[in-house]
Structure 1
């Protein structure tokens, strides 16, 4: 058999209609992303039922995000090595079983441990979705496909609290996890049937890089999130909050140094960042993920404890975000293949930052409902021009053989933003409650009954002050996207000029 014949025999044909495969993947992807925010609306119920503190319940989300973020750097490579379909199915199985464990636990420690297992399953699944899109869609249709992927991420982030509220009210907080079991079974069957098997590539695995990135992230997040609890001082013996944070920064520095020196196959190929659009997209999505993860905690606490909303009512506050995001996402997807990414993302960041600033300013115990609805609609509109366009622009210029590495890095940075947002907002909530002369105990956590009037005002002030962090973080993303350049496929070369000159 000739070399050409061997190559033909080993190649997996691209499906003539790749959309069914993408829809099958998006079901599982939607489920794991819903679980990044679904806990926020259940926070008061979990605090009351498991007799936990706010910071402990924030760890229910942070543990999931950490376990999601760190392995995702290598699970993209594992997908290249063993096949993205195979790794996706394994991850989906782990995630579904861990969801069952989350619902069955009776302690906050057990819930956190089960959430770690959930995060590991999610980390196996996510990079495979982007890698499959890159490999089965032709470049001229990839923008629309990535727009669906990005819209799934955005809508899932917004739908989580709504779905969580309905489940907590009707069945109990455990059902925000039990619901994943039947969905996971359906997602497995569809992916098994519809997702094609793609060619695999051998990889060397950078286990030292995994260890350094994991240790660095844990030290940073633990130091930031627990700082307020230990008064930014001694934790135990010689270990202080600041020593953990500094150690985390040092270890992350060693990780970057090792990636630069590793000549075999680094966990994060720094050469990816030579593509300016990839670098800019990674920084920008970090700020978006930070903002959306952080937003839910103060907002859901305020809605249930100040306004006396039930979990369902609190979650439905975010319905305008989901609706406008769903309606605008197809428009953003079509424009992504036609308009310079700088234009779309600048509009998205400006709208999102302005609407979150407005939310922080209008938040009061007696804020009219129509004002909240209008602001949340603007939040959804702004986000729809960020999730899809950023994902598309990040990977558009990457060759298919770098799809696994590129999607792994992009999803890792997105999750790093979520982890930092979760940790930072926990610190800020604690700090602003203390500054406003308030403490928080599990007995105050039940939704459906308002705090006393003399407490509701200071509590609202603390939540609105915490929310002010988000627009300032988004300004970093806005500045970043100013540096987008025109994607390569946007500019066909003029006949009289070299093709390479046309991409700028």
Structure 2
């Protein structure tokens, strides 16, 4: 398969179009996290509604991204990539006009379908087009630029959120997507796996989509109905059964969306396990950090977005360097140190209590964000290099799809499981706070019902003056308590990712500048 130099005209256009399309998807998720408080207030959404708005997109992405990667390998990477961008643009426009939570969830699913075709296409296009000797550098460049734009999402989201324009988070995708389509149509040649065979694993896609949906529904129902409820048991049990069915389908399918033989390579398996644990911690950590800053610590949404600037600066400085070092020396050491450092950053953040707001940022949130950003900067490019370099070019689209799917599945599970745990932690802490307040049992029940709204919990009507202030303080203390526990679990997830690199990643299994 003919490849081009990274610095050539063709190489530059491939990089520009891939970065633009990927950034469009990634900025959407990070910016949305920051505007969730505005969205929650505007659409009168509960805490559980917020997790569904996040997970509707992630569910479709996780379920279909593997098929998206396979389609690109078989039908043409440019063609499928462009189709994904077009669908994502349509979904974004629809989300921007959504008048209710229900419709926003539906349109987020449409975005997810577009993303499933688009996201694996970007890395697959790079891996199959750029000269192998420069592939790590290209992936590092892609990682750096997409992460910079991604981390710019909170700043953009904060500005829109404070101005009451949270819907523009979706509208901003339209010009970016149109520009990417124009570049692809004019400047990028079609790339297709000529040895690929036709056939798509629709049964596998249906099984994993339903399985993930059932698991997510089960976890999100726990705060509302409790753990000991038939809805929870049946949903979680059904979800696990469907995921088992998915594995059986993949083993027997002639055209599996997730070829299980890829996992016989321990480096590929280890890199994907690392991805799962690290991005589970990342997803939950960033979500609750944003909610804490805006809803409890008194940051504006723009100020909350600006707090991620150290992360962005580190990515600009280190991601490309880390990718080049992974090319030269192998990714193993970076994939041990990076996730461990990221986990340490999340652990530091877990100890932040009530602050005086943005004035205290440098001595409270900044150290943890700095350490976390350093860890992620050392990890992102080498991790992608390990995944793509541990398989043959024939499976580049599928490998990218598997790794991206695990990233989204990790986020789905983190949002669903830790979202449910956060409500339980909040409720438990609130009960402890209310023991010290002179209220009757009925009043306490009314106050506790707000637990499902987490940081957006409002003092019920009928409480005024001193009582109202005490209850507001109890809500804040309860959220901070829940936040600390969630961040500690997220940190542990990062440490698990580092252990996966220790046990499974081998430099000898990753291609170094060869076809």
TM-score (norm 2): 0.87
Alignment match, 2:3: 14
Alignment match, 1:369: 361
Alignment match, 1:315: 305
Partner of residue 43 from structure 2, selected from 47, 50, 59? 50
Do the aligned residues in 2 keep the contact of 1:345 with 1:385 (CA within 8 Å)? yes
Partner of residue 205 from structure 1, selected from 173, 176, 200? 200
Query: Partners of 2:133 and 2:513 in 1: how far apart?
Result: 13
Query: Partners of 1:97 and 1:492 in 2: how far apart?
Result: 39
Alignment of 1:240-255 (within 5 A): 240-255=231-246
1:261 aligns with 2:256: no
Return the offset for 1:169.
1.7
1:286 aligns with 2:307: no
Alignment match, 1:467: 487
Unaligned stretches of 5+ in structure 2?
431-447, 459-468
Do the aligned residues in 2 keep the contact of 1:153 with 1:387 (CA within 8 Å)? no
Do the aligned residues in 2 keep the contact of 1:131 with 1:404 (CA within 8 Å)? yes
Alignment match, 1:148: 141
Query: Partners of 1:346 and 1:58 in 2: how far apart?
Result: 31
Partner of residue 138 from structure 1, selected from 131, 134, 148? 131
Return the offset for 1:466.
1.9
Partner of residue 263 from structure 2, selected from 273, 279, 290? 273
Return the offset for 1:30.
0.8
Alignment match, 1:345: 335
SS in 2 for 1:301: helix
Return the offset for 1:441.
7.4
Alignment match, 2:181: 188
Give the CA RMSD over aligned residues. 2.4
Alignment match, 1:3: none
Alignment match, 2:110: 117
Alignment match, 2:464: none
Alignment match, 2:322: 332
Task: Label 1:365 to 1:440 Cα distance change in 2 as closer, same or farther (>3 A).
Answer: farther
Deviations 1:3-46 (A, max 9, x none): xxxxxxxx7x5345223212211111011012222221111111
Alignment of 1:73-92 (within 5 A): 73-92=66-85
Query: Partners of 1:284 and 1:89 in 2: how far apart?
Result: 30
Return the offset for 1:161.
2.1
Query: Partners of 1:152 and 1:348 in 2: how far apart?
Result: 19
Partner of residue 225 from structure 1, selected from 220, 224, 227? 220
Alignment match, 1:499: none
Task: Label 1:443 to 1:481 Cα distance change in 2 as closer, same or farther (>3 A).
Answer: closer
Query: Partners of 1:425 and 1:151 in 2: how far apart?
Result: 28
Task: Label 1:208 to 1:464 Cα distance change in 2 as closer, same or farther (>3 A).
Answer: same
SS in 1 for 2:507: coil
1:40 aligns with 2:33: yes
Higher helix share: 2
SS in 2 for 1:70: helix
Alignment match, 1:486: 507
Partner of residue 496 from structure 2, selected from 459, 466, 476? 476
SS in 2 for 1:221: helix
Do the aligned residues in 1 keep the contact of 2:330 with 2:510 (CA within 8 Å)? no
- Give the number of aligned pairs: 475
Task: Label 1:284 to 1:489 Cα distance change in 2 as closer, same or farther (>3 A).
Answer: closer
Do the aligned residues in 2 keep the contact of 1:139 with 1:396 (CA within 8 Å)? no
Return the offset for 1:81.
2.4
Return the offset for 1:94.
0.8
Return the offset for 1:444.
7.2
Task: Label 1:489 to 1:259 Cα distance change in 2 as closer, same or farther (>3 A).
Answer: closer
Alignment match, 1:497: none
SS in 1 for 2:411: helix
Q: Which stretch of structure 1 is more off in the superposition, 148-157 or 460-469? A: 148-157
Return the offset for 1:433.
1.2
Alignment match, 1:296: 286
Task: Label 1:492 to 1:116 Cα distance change in 2 as closer, same or farther (>3 A).
Answer: closer
Return the offset for 1:300.
1.7
Query: Partners of 2:487 and 2:239 in 1: how far apart?
Result: 26
TM-score (norm 1): 0.89
1:215 aligns with 2:210: yes
Partner of residue 457 from structure 1, selected from 467, 477, 480? 477
Do the aligned residues in 1 keep the contact of 2:340 with 2:497 (CA within 8 Å)? no
